[in-house]
Amino acid sequence: MLLTVSAAAVAVPPALAGEPAGGAGAESAGDRLFPSLGNGGYDAGSYDVQFDYRPSTPKVNATVTMRATAKQDLSRFSLGAAGQDIKSVSEQGARAEFSTSGEKLTITPKNPVRKGRTFTVRTDCRADRSRNLPGSFWEYWVPTKDGFALMGRPDRAHLFFPANDHPSDKARFTFRISTPKNLRAVANGFLISRRTAGDRTTYTFRTRHPIPTRVGQVAVGKYREVEQRGPHGLPIRSYVPADQYTQLKPVVSRTPAQVAWLEKEIGRPFPFEVYGMLAVKSPYNGVALETATRSTFSSSMLNRPAEQAEPVMAHELVHQYFGDAVSVRSWDDMWISEGHAHYYQIRYEVDRGFRQRPRGRATR
């Protein structure tokens, strides 16, 4: 990402009194910069997120199923959840008690979950695209004329769906997005199915590898696909606004060459099963985000001259290695991903002749 966001410390909610046997998972991942983020006691393995997009309303009916492994006996545990109307929660198919407070959804399963057990939690809720929390740097539910996109970084993925929203707990994602059939949904990973029934189409995307919640991607709108191949046959699947296809196709078509360049620089193959670009007609010109497997850009930024657009493309590509495939355990270490992204961005600018080679004392 190419903008810095200041984060105010938030108090960690105190543990509730009168603990039943089994114990409660912590209500924090213990992060110094974002103490209210994340939850303890379990390790999320996968999320299955269903969104029902209706243009006529900002409300989005959602069903979110998290599969996780208990790291301790759990009589109670929490997920990050903000701005959603929670309708019901079940654990292993049995209705579970729940309560919400601040940005936490606290769940009491019918029977305590034993340490080492894998369990599933299903939450039926209604998210709200018009709800962007006070003090927001921008709108995380990014509105577009024909749909929306998500910009959850750094700490707002749990505005979209209940999750253990901390980069130390990566998970695989399946997104099932239902839209009017004249629109198209885009999300992380590969499109594994597209089914139309009546006037609705459901797009299912899935990631093969675990990714942090903050780089989840969902967008709906009138998009057109640009299909390419990268090094070693890596599939490149980019999406651009349909009415900007002619202008933007040559820009996103730089992607395979960029991946090949970066693989050579880093000496490692691209870490995911697919890559691509998503160009969004967002009001945030210049904002770009390293959404895993497919980076998100404002289309106006990509329409800038090559010496401005391509370095940003390279920057988000580097983040696929540093930040997405390898994520930070603590937000204090954000420099590890941003430092590498900036470093290789500058090397790219020099290689492309967009910037003069920095002159300094030679070192051995």
State residue 222 phi and psi, 5-degree precision.
-95, 95
**Smallest gap from residue 302 Cβ to Zn ion (A):** 17
- Which residue lies nearer to Zn ion by CB, 4 or 130? 4
Spatial distance between the Cα atoms of 71 and 241, rounded to a whole number of angstroms: 44
**Residue placing its CB nearer to Zn ion in the complex, 96 or 312:** 312
Q: Pick the closer one to Zn ion by CB: 12 or 266.
A: 266
Question: Of 165 and 338, which has the nearer Cβ to Zn ion?
Answer: 338
Q: Which residues bind Zn ion (CB under 5 A)?
A: 1, 338, 341
The contacts of residue 183 (CB under 8 Å, 6+ apart) are: 53, 146, 147, 201, 220, 221, 222
Residue whose beta carbon is closest to Zn ion:
341
Using alpha carbons, select from 247, 331, 300, 292 the residue that is nearest to residue 47. Answer: 292
Residue 281 C-beta: closest distance to Zn ion, Å: 22
Q: Is 334 helix (H, G, I), strand (E, B) or coil?
A: helix
Closest separation in Å from C-beta 5 to Zn ion: 11
Within the chain, strands assigned E span 42-52, 59-70, 77-80, 85-91, 94-95, 97-101, 104-108, 118-128, 141-144, 147-150, 172-180, 184-187, 190-197, 200-206, 218-221, 223-229, 235-241, 277-280, 288-289, 295-298
Our CB check for Zn ion shows the closer of 155 and 338 to be 338
Query: CA 231, CA 203: separation in Å to the nearest integer?
Result: 27
Report d(CA 120, CA 218) in Å as an integer: 23
Q: How far is the CB of 341 from Zn ion (least distance, A)?
A: 4
Compute the least distance from the CB of residue 34 to Zn ion, in Å: 17
Sign (positive/negative) of CA torsion 18, 24, 27, 28?
A: positive
Least Å from the CB of residue 288 to Zn ion: 8
Q: How far is the CB of 284 from Zn ion (least distance, A)?
A: 15
